[in-house]
Chains A and B, each alone.
Chain A
């Protein structure tokens, strides 16, 4: 019994080596991976305990999907810096509270546009070629219900408000709606898909609106940078 172990091992090692070489030579450049961005601040602030009014900078955080990093944080208050970054195509997606913007249309100079598909993130393997709207183009957004009354929905590509876009709002809790995948075009026109995992710092699995800090996005995305619509990820 013991004698046979060695040849099998050699054989196994050889086959591993062979497959490894094979992968490197043909497929690696095409492989897409799910990238994750954690706790991206979206204009967090402190709430006045008496009035419930939020004290914040009222500014977007701008994010680059290609670099998987923040281009401009909502904490940056220098107007010149903010102006310069906003007017560039270095960012793809922006967050302020529950509002999400894309670098295009009324939001920026890029080709950014987006739509929501009613499908699980994993089952979106191909970006649609049509159906994208730029910020400012979406006339279909329903009214947004607030304690102060109902307001017309802002014409963002992803509508704001409870159940109108990416989240629902119940008992003071913002929860991403399962099965709503954002497919988007980046500032440079590349396709990507994105799912929001959490609106709360640390992405707790059952957040407590009283103790967990809100206005922090954790999301996952797949970016296709070869110009194709293929979004199937490993």
Chain B
């Protein structure tokens, strides 16, 4: 009964907590009175309201600050790949692959607001600093029923810290191989009603080159500067007004060469820059004791400028500017009907404007140039029913309506059942979607060098007409008056999992997933021009599925009262298959050529799935921590899985993945020959941490000096040809001063 009551408390508490994870109530400050440990923290991403991690019914992983610190991570990319099955996916930036999906299918949020700005679908997660982060929540499987587009493979939500009472701050610096540097200044102030936090971060590197004898670098040099300012005003009990503003810029310098013949190539330089800015005001107010209203606004801009030119002649090879402007207004209402019923509903509106070389058309009928502008509105609902402390049912759904693609309805149902004190089962069935990307909707591109054209779905009609009028089309493959509207890429998914915690120091989590994805958008020629080149359009064509199993282990062991060894890691089995290829393979219609160029018929056993996907992933972080004798000791009795930063720690992270396909040499569209794969490999990182604490005279926050040494990719495993962005062995040292 005691436990049931505590769920009720959490529920009441939950409605006071907004979706961005900011803990408002004093209860949260007083961590000991509430049983929210780091092992079982409050999470917000799974249900858009605060809930204890073990009470959510969808697969959720939390990466806490202690773990981030002890593994020496400063950027989001490094820490996410510690989750078994989450891997880097390099394509126009460092993206992440989750449940076998490429980066465009994972939604990245900071305090609940989407980070915008993707290049070729990839949101470069190395953009995001981990300074000032409380924890990171990762929800796997579709969450489109709450978040809409992009939340198809999963959601990553970065939850920022609230400053400690009084003045607090941090000055931290890291230097390492390739002149990599990461400097941060953080200043916080917190009083009864007001919190202010300011973070400035600089992140830079000279890049590196695996092949110094050849012109062109393996990874570019860059200089990244970002800042954020968060102000929270708690004007009434359980009510507050918060404004979060962020700005960042990155300058990037790269070089590459284009081969002209067997012996000659032309050197090119690449100078790019990126600016982004966002401001997110939010207002929460309590209406009586059972209702909370949350109003949110979000305005974000993102600009890139890329210039590639010949090194000798300075002649421009390629130039592209891109502007994105995103505005969102949203109203959410949380209602606690009773201890067993909790509802949430919301409506919102998005406006997006695009600009840049590829989008500002001169093809419009009236001869004007114009920026594509699109409006979208959406509504979402969720109901949580908790008939007993052991069972919970969660129903949610969202409707998205956009002017330029078909409306989308995304339902999800999930349930949690606690079979006994040690075993909890979770199941969810839901659908996810990803809206057509900008290029798929609005691209208006004529390649002047080669002579082909590509039109987004909204530009196809007028684009074809214009080319017809100019008399440059020789052959139409479809009737321009008969173009259908483009649809979102959609998935139906199920996730089934079990958590088994036989003791306080061991937790096993098993999990099966299946994603059935259809309407994947591909290019297809729609017409041929008289110059022999094609006109391409975007169509809903491909169907894939990803399926797999995962096992996560969290374990710790204390030796005496000062030493602790903990392990966190797991294994993922993954298959990501194209249905058309599977059908063709089963029908014996797929062939390959062996290393001697002889053709062979292939079977399912030869199919490696989509490129860049390893069948097996193993990852794990082993941490040794030692407490100072005079300081607090491990509480061995209750929560030995609880993370806390210890004065001395050594952490080793390993990631192993089996071979994965990266190219096709024999014309069947997938990797089946040994020379089409990147070999299986292991990456090892290690971090040593030593913290010195000085008791503050005011008795509040102690002064802390933290020294760290890091080595990344200890074994210097590199693949210069097949994965040039994987750096060799890198050393770094960090100094951090907190007060």
A146-B532 Cα distance, complex, nearest whole Å: 6
Whether, in the assembled complex, B667 has its beta carbon less than 8 Å from a beta carbon of chain A, the answer is yes
What 0/1 readout, one digit per residue, does chain A (174-200) give for beta carbons within 8 Å of chain B? Answer: 011111110000000000000101100
Interface contact A150-B597, CB-CB below 8 Å: no
| Residues in B whose Cβ lies below 8 Å from that of A147 | 531-532
- Whether B261 pairs with A178 at a CB distance below 8 angstroms is no
Q: What string of 1s and 0s marks CB contacts (under 8 Å) between B522-557 and chain A? A: 000000101110000000000000000000000000
Which chain A residues (141-187) contact chain B, with CB distance < 8 Å?
Answer: 145-150, 168, 175-181
Q: What residue in chain B is nearest A205 (Cβ atoms)?
A: B595
A220 proximity list for chain B (CB < 8 A): 598
Contact B592 A178 (CB under 8 A): yes
**Contacts A120-B600, A121-B599, A198-B597 given; does A178 touch B262 at CB 8 Å:** no
Q: Does B351 contact A (CB under 8 A)?
A: no
With beta carbons under 8 angstroms apart, the residue of B261, B475, B595, B601 that contacts A49 is B261
Tell me if B167 counts as interface (CB < 8 A to partner A): no
Task: Let me know if A129 is at the binding interface, CB within 8 A.
Answer: no
Q: B259's contact among A177, A178, A179, A210, by CB below 8 Å, is which?
A: A210
B598: chain A residues within 8 A (beta carbon):
121, 195, 197, 220
B645 / chain A contacts, CB cutoff of 8 Å:
none
For chain B, residues 568 to 603, give those with C-beta under 8 angstroms from any C-beta of chain A: 589-593, 595-601
**Cβ contact within 8 Å between A177 and B532:** no
Known interface pairs A121-B598, A145-B532, A206-B665; A150-B262 also in contact (CB < 8 Å):
no
A177 to B597 alpha-carbon distance, docked (Å): 10
Q: Are A179 and B601 in contact (CB under 8 A)?
A: yes
| Residues of chain A lying within 8 A (CB to CB) of residue B666 | 175, 178
Can you list, as one digit per residue, whether each of A127-147 has a CB less than 8 Å from chain B (1) or not (0)? 000000000000000000111
Q: Does B668 contact A (CB under 8 A)?
A: yes
Q: Give every chain A residue within 8 A of B528 (Cβ-Cβ).
A: 145, 150
Contacts of A197 in B (CB 8 A): 596-598
CA distance A47 to B593 in the complex (A): 29
B193 on interface, CB distance cutoff 8 Å: no
Confirm or deny: A123 has a beta carbon within 8 angstroms of a beta carbon on chain B: yes
Is A37 engaged at the interface, CB distance under 8 Å to the other chain?
no
Q: Is B561 an interface residue (CB 8 A)?
A: no
Q: A49-B261, A149-B474 are in contact. Are A206 and B599 (CB under 8 A)?
A: no
A188 to B436, CA, bound (A): 59
Complex contacts, A178 vs chain B, CB 8 Å: 591-593, 599-600, 666-668
Q: Does A32 contact B (CB under 8 A)?
A: no
Check A66 for interface membership: any CB of B closer than 8 A: no
Q: Are A148 and B532 neighbours in the complex by a CB distance under 8 Å?
A: yes
Smallest Cβ-Cβ distance to A203: which chain B residue: B597
Chain B window 256-300, contacts with chain A (Cβ cutoff 8 Å), 1 for yes, 0 for no: 000111100000000000000000000000000000000000000
User: Considering the chains assembled together, what is the distance between the CA atoms of A197 and B600 in angstroms?
Assistant: 12
B531 and A205: CB pair below 8 A?
no
Q: A69 near B: Cβ within 8 Å?
A: no
Is B675 interfacial (CB 8 A cutoff)? yes
Q: What separation, in Å, do the CA atoms of A198 and B593 have in the docked complex?
A: 11
Within the complex, the shortest CB–CB distance from A219 to chain B, in Å, comes to 10
A232 to chain B, nearest CB (A): 16
Known: A120-B601, A121-B599. A150 touches B475 (CB 8 A): yes
Cross-interface CB contact of B667 among A122, A177, A181, cutoff 8 Å: A177
Complex CA distance for A206 and B531, rounded to whole angstroms: 30
Given A145-B532, A179-B601, A210:B675 Cβ within 8 A: no
Q: How far is the CA of A181 from the CA of B601 in the complex (A)?
A: 12
Q: A118-B589, A150-B475 are in contact. Are A179 and B599 (CB under 8 A)?
A: yes
B597 touches A179 (CB 8 A): no
Contact present for B593 and A176 (CB under 8 Å): yes
Q: For residue A195, which residues in chain B have a CB less than 8 angstroms away from its CB? A: 598-599
Closest approach, in angstroms, between the C-beta of A11 and any C-beta of chain B? 38
Taking CB atoms, residues of chain A closer than 8 Å to B595 are 205
**Measured between C-beta atoms, what is the minimum distance from A37 to chain B in Å?**
13
Residues on B with C-beta less than 8 A from A177 are 591, 667
Tell me whether B590 and A179 are in contact (CB under 8 A). yes
Q: Is the CB of A149 within 8 A of B531?
A: yes
In the complex with contacts A121-B599, A195-B599, A205-B675, A210-B532 CB distance below 8 A: no
Instruction: Report A7 CB to chain B, min CB distance, Å.
Output: 43
**B657-671 residues at the A interface, CB under 8 angstroms:** 665-668
Please give, as numbers and ranges, the residues of chain A lying within 8 Å of B532 by CB-CB distance. Answer: 145-150
Q: Which residue of B lies closest to A177 (CB)?
A: B667
Query: Shortest distance in angstroms between A116's beta carbon and chain B's nearest beta carbon?
Result: 12
Q: Is A19 an interface residue (CB 8 A)?
A: no
- Which of A168, A175, A179, A208 is the one whose CB lies under 8 Å from B591? A179
Distance A85 CA – B56 CA, assembled complex (angstroms): 82
> B592-636 toward A: CB 8 Å interface, digit per residue (1/0)?
110111111100000000000000000000000000000000000
Within 8 Å CB of B259, what residues of A?
210
How long is the Cα–Cα vector from A149 to B534 in the complex, in angstroms?
11
Is the pair B597, A205 in contact by a Cβ cutoff of 8 Å?
yes
- Roughly how many angstroms separate A7 CA and B7 CA in the complex, as a whole number? 85
User: Residue A23 at the B interface, CB < 8 A?
Assistant: no
| B661-693 Cβ-contact flags toward A at 8 Å (1 or 0) | 000011110000001000000000000000000
* Chain A residue nearest to B597 in the complex (CB): A197
| B contact residues around A24 at 8 Å (CB) | none
A211 near B: Cβ within 8 Å?
yes
User: What residues of B have a CB within 8 angstroms of the CB of A181 in the complex?
Assistant: 599
- Bound-complex Cα distance A121 to B668 (A): 16
Is the Cβ of B600 less than 8 Å from the Cβ of A176?
no
Residues of B within 8 A of A206 (CB): 665, 675
Chain B minimum-CB-distance residue to A170: B667
Chain A residue at minimal CB-CB distance from B594: A205
Docked CA distance A119–B668 (Å) = 14
Point out which of A119, A120, A179, A203 has the most chain B C-beta atoms below 10 A from its C-beta.
A179
Tell whether, in the assembled complex, residue A211 and residue B601 are in contact, meaning their CB atoms are under 8 Å apart. no
What residues of chain B lie closer than 8 Å to A210, measured between beta carbons?
Answer: 259-262
Task: Please indicate the chain B residues that have their CB under 8 angstroms from the CB of A218 in the complex.
Answer: 597
Q: Tell me the minimal C-beta distance from A141 to chain B in angstroms.
A: 16
- Chain B residue nearest to A119 in the complex (CB): B601
User: In the bound complex, how far is the Cα of B528 from the Cα of A179, in angstroms?
Assistant: 28
Cα A189 to Cα B530 with chains together (Å) = 42
Residue of B nearest to A47 (CB): B261
Known: A176-B593, A178-B667. A120 touches B599 (CB 8 A): yes
**Distance A122 CA – B475 CA, assembled complex (angstroms):** 39
A176 to B600, CA, bound (A): 13
Chain B nearest CB: distance from A112 CB in Å? 23
Q: Which residue on chain A has the smallest CB distance to residue B595?
A: A205
Task: Provide the bound-state CA to CA distance between A148 and B529, in Å.
Answer: 11
Nearest B residue to A122 via CB reads B600
B474 contact from A49, A120, A123, A150, Cβ within 8 A: A150
Complex Cα–Cα for A180 and B599 (A): 8
| Cα of A178 to Cα of B665 in the assembled complex, Å | 11
Point out the residues of chain A lying under 8 angstroms from B667, CB to CB.
Answer: 168, 175, 177-178
How close is B214's CB to chain A, nearest CB, in angstroms? 15
Q: 8 Å CB contacts to A: which residues of B439-493?
A: 474-475
Q: A148: which B residues are within 8 A, CB to CB?
A: 532
Q: How far is the CB of A182 from chain B (nearest CB, A)?
A: 12
Q: In the complex, A120→B600 CA distance in Å? A: 6
For B591, the closest partner residue in chain A by CB is: A179
Known: A145-B532, A178-B593, A178-B666. A123 touches B262 (CB 8 A): no
A205 lies within 8 A of B596 (CB): yes
Across-interface contacts of A180 in B (CB, < 8 A): 599
Cross-chain pairs A/B with CB under 8 angstroms, 5 sampled:
A145-B532, A147-B531, A149-B531, A178-B667, A198-B597
**With A49-B261, A121-B599, A197-B597 already in contact, 16 other A-B pairs whose C-beta atoms are closer than 8 Å:** A118-B589, A120-B599, A121-B598, A123-B601, A147-B531, A149-B474, A149-B530, A149-B532, A150-B475, A176-B597, A178-B668, A197-B598, A198-B597, A205-B595, A205-B596, A220-B598
Chain A positions within 8 Å of B, measured between CB atoms, are 49, 118-123, 145-150, 168, 175-181, 195, 197-198, 203, 205-206, 208, 210-211, 218, 220
4 A-B pairs with the lowest CB-CB distances in the bound complex, closest first: A179-B591, A211-B262, A178-B591, A197-B597
